[in-house]
Amino acid sequence: MFAYNAGMTALHASSHRPAQKQSRRAIVLCNLGGADGPESVRGFLFNLFSDRSILPFPAWLRIPLAALISTLRAPHTRKLYEKVGGRSILMDETRAQAAALETLATEAGWDVKVIIAMNYWHPLPAEAVADIRAWGADEVIVLPLYPQFSTTTSGSILEKLRAEAKHQGLTAKVHALCCYPRLGGFIDGMADLIAPALTQTVAAGERPRLLLSAHGLPEKTIACGDPYQWQVEQTASAIHQALIARDERWRDLDVVVCYQSRVGPVAWIGPSTESEIVRAGADGCAVVLAPIAFVSEHLETVVELDDELKRFAAQNGVRHYHRIAAIGRNAAFIGSLLTLAAAARAGGHICSDGGARVCPGRFTACPHQHSAAA
């Protein structure tokens, strides 16, 4: 079943054993999900807010609260979906990434099927596990499309997949990837996208400020040992170093990590993307903004970044606003995902882009801590 326990997921391969036929592998790409039409918006929101990792309350309180929030937010969210054709574009984006990864893995000689698992709308974890069983996989590699680990994202869907695997009696060997904040193909791919925008900005006579924007989290989530913010900072540092490697003039580039998509009255980690846009306008800087916690386009990029924050920037004196695309099907990124998947199945533990644990010990929500304690 899906678990952090190294002993439960390891491949017990040995060079002294006789050769066996190639394993049939399933790679499970995990993502958030999104409504597939106006009629499913409320259901998607209910699934989101009824997740205890999002609203950490007892079920007797969480479920009614999720019903209320989803009912109140559905009309506004439907209007946002109207801007992208009436349904989430995330599923199409994830399908394209899955197809690219499956093609690459097949070309590498794998007997493989890439299966999608969405956390809050179809195909849900139960459907993904059913697909794994129907495919007849001998081994499974779970790969969240979240570069940085958080209990609210990768942790949530890994736990749901684990529960479904147990419920459906999945017997395949399973390897799980938790995070890849400094994955080479991800970092290099983002640097390749950012560098031309910086060059164009300077050529236009503007002074660029690079905003590396990630989805925010409540401060209390980080205080409970979640490594997400630390990993976001690792990603930002690696991207800056990759830019310097391309052009020494970016050594003194003004780089800021900021956080978007705040909701609710609780304190969130900062600085906010909005406040940094205001500061850039006051300082007379152009804004080059790159999403570094999203690998696929969706509402929070094409609506929030391309529409809402672009207008907000103009209103606050930013003359030049350039939004960098999400990494998507970038060849270096997809290639690194396959390399990471191969490393995961060769290892005997839950895997990160560093192999073992990359987070400092103070982050008690790191899944490697659970693995070590199991």
H helix and E strand count, the chain: 13, 9
| Closest CA relative to residue 234, chosen from 190, 194, 183, 192 | 183
| pLDDT of 17 higher than 90 | no
Domain identity same for 275 and 141: no
Domain identity same for 57 and 145: no
Query: CA-to-CA distance for 73 and 292, rounded, in angstroms?
Result: 26
| pLDDT of 132 higher than 80 | yes
Domain identity same for 242 and 363: no
Residue type, 44: F
Q: Which of 23, 49, 82 is the last residue of a domain?
A: 82
1 lies in some domain: no
| pLDDT of 70 higher than 60 | yes
Query: CA-to-CA distance for 161 and 3, rounded, in angstroms?
Result: 9
User: Which of helix, strand or coil describes residue 219?
Assistant: helix
Domain identity same for 22 and 161: yes
**Degrees to nearest 5, angle at CA 260 with 256 and 327:** 75
Query: CA-to-CA distance for 206 and 218, rounded, in angstroms?
Result: 34
146 lies in some domain: yes
Lowest mean pLDDT among 241-245, 265-269, 300-304: 265-269
The residue-averaged pLDDT of 78-91 equals: 93
Cβ pair 193, 327 in contact under 8 A: yes
Query: CA-to-CA distance for 153 and 161, rounded, in angstroms?
Result: 13
- The residues, any chain, with a CB within 8 Å of residue 213's CB and separated by 6 or more, are 258, 259, 260, 273, 289, 290, 291, 292, 293, 305
- The residues, any chain, with a CB within 8 Å of residue 87's CB and separated by 6 or more, are 34, 35, 36, 37, 38, 81
- The residues, any chain, with a CB within 8 Å of residue 336's CB and separated by 6 or more, are 180, 183, 184, 185, 186
Domain identity same for 228 and 266: yes
Residue type, 328: G
The residue-averaged pLDDT of 106-113 equals: 97
* Global pTM value: 0.92
Domain identity same for 210 and 299: yes
Cβ pair 33, 44 in contact under 8 A: yes
Domain count, the chain: 3
Supply the CATH number for residue 358's domain: 3.40.50.1400
Domain identity same for 205 and 298: yes
Residue 67: domain span: 38-82
- pLDDT-derived band at 357, boundaries 50, 70, 90: confident
245 lies in some domain: yes
| pLDDT of 12 higher than 80 | no
Residue type, 292: I
Average pLDDT of the chain is 91
Domain identity same for 199 and 275: yes
Burial profile 271-307: b = 16 or more Cβ within 10 angstroms, e = fewer: ebbbebbbbbbeeebbbbbbbbbbbbbbbbbbbbbbe
Q: In what order do the strands lie in the sheet with 321-323?
A: 254-260, 208-215, 286-291, 321-323
**Degrees to nearest 5, angle at CA 64 with 60 and 65:** 105
Cα 225 to Cα 48, 56, 87, 135, 229, distances in angstroms = 22, 15, 35, 37, 10
Q: Which residue has the higher pLDDT, 353 or 359?
A: 359
Query: Partners of 15 in the beta sheet?
Result: none
Beta strands in 160-228 (DSSP E): 173-179, 208-215
16 lies in some domain: yes
Residue type, 306: D
Cα 262 to Cα 193, 214, 258, 274, distances in angstroms = 26, 11, 11, 10
340 lies in some domain: yes
| Closest CA relative to residue 175, chosen from 31, 5, 345 | 345
The residue-averaged pLDDT of 121-142 equals: 97
Cis previous bond, 125, omega within 30: no
pLDDT in tens, 36-47: 999 999 999 999
Domain identity same for 50 and 188: no
Domain identity same for 273 and 200: yes
Q: Which of 306, 323, 340 is the last residue of a domain?
A: 323
Domain identity same for 133 and 16: yes
Instruction: Give the pair of three-digit tokens for residue 174.
Output: 């399973």
Domain identity same for 72 and 98: no
- pLDDT-derived band at 247, boundaries 50, 70, 90: very high
The residue-averaged pLDDT of 340-348 equals: 81
